[in-house]
Amino acid sequence: MKGPELQEPAYVLHRRPWRETSLMVDVFTLNHGRMTVIAKGANSARSPLKAQLQPFQPLVIDWTGRGDLKTLTQVDVHTGPSLTRTTSLYSGLYLNELVQRVLPAADPYPILFAAYIEAIGRLAVTGDVEPVLRQFELTFAAALGYDFSWDITTDTSESVEAGRQYCYDPEQGIVSAVSPGVRLQQLPGDVLLALARGDFESDRCRRVSKRVMRVLTDYLLQGRPLNSRNLFTHLRGESHES
């Protein structure tokens, strides 16, 4: 049997009961990416693990085992931010669902891991979650090879012009002309240039970036629904945050 992995930073993405007294826990780790571990006895009344294995809680974990399912052997809980606002909590759940449902298992994504930590920290202190989500989505897309430039068209390799309209294709990025893969049209060039400068605050930039990232995340999800979007719908009547 493989020996224990020592001192791996991790966050819980999702957990569910496994057999009678255990938990199956999906975690996002620094050096091993997304993986699943079995926390034996964690679902019993006397185990401290159930309280420790919470989303958004910084952990350091050890495990043993081969194959897709590892056995959790040690959990150290570190102090971290708390998502007390409802919109921040639901936004954090949205990030967790993206990572859990889309990220390939067992591949390290250290830059995305760092972006996740930063996003959770920012969600803990702000009520304005949209810029946080958009920036994480961009890093998430880049980690999977779907990064693009807001101010360069991939079909012509030309710079975006303020007075023109553009399109978006999740496999290409910003394009200047309609093609079979285009999902969005009539994206104002001046807004794309503002987004390229990092403006996720103005209303027009918020609307355009949200439309683009919604199309991209839906493409990456391949039709799989996100429960966190339903939570936002229930909370506000329609999803404003993801």
Provide the b/e sequence for 164-203 (b: ≥16 CB within 10 Å).
Answer: eebbbbbebbbbbeeeeebbbeebbbebbbbbeeebbeee
pLDDT score, position 240: 45
Q: What is the mean pLDDT of residues 203-218?
A: 96
Q: Are 100 and 26 in contact (CB under 8 A)?
A: yes
Query: Sorting pLDDT into bands at 50, 70 and 90, what band is 202?
Result: very high
Domains defined along the chain, listed by start: 8-77 (2.40.50.140), 148-228 (1.20.1440.120)
Q: What is the pTM for the complete model shown?
A: 0.91
The predicted-structure confidence for 160-194, as pLDDT tens digits, reads as follows 999 999 999 999 999 999 887 798 999 999 999 99
pLDDT score, position 61: 96
pLDDT score, position 142: 96
pLDDT score, position 181: 74
* Amino acid letter for position 195: L
Q: Which residue has the higher pLDDT, 231 or 43?
A: 43
The answer to whether the Cα torsion of 131, 156, 187, 178 is positive or negative is negative
Q: Which residue has the higher pLDDT, 67 or 121?
A: 121
Q: What is the mean pLDDT of residues 206-233?
A: 90
Give the CA-trace dihedral at 30, 31, 35, 38, to 10 degrees.
-90
pLDDT score, position 183: 87
The predicted-structure confidence for 102-157, as pLDDT tens digits, reads as follows 999 999 999 999 999 999 999 999 999 999 999 999 999 999 999 999 999 999 99
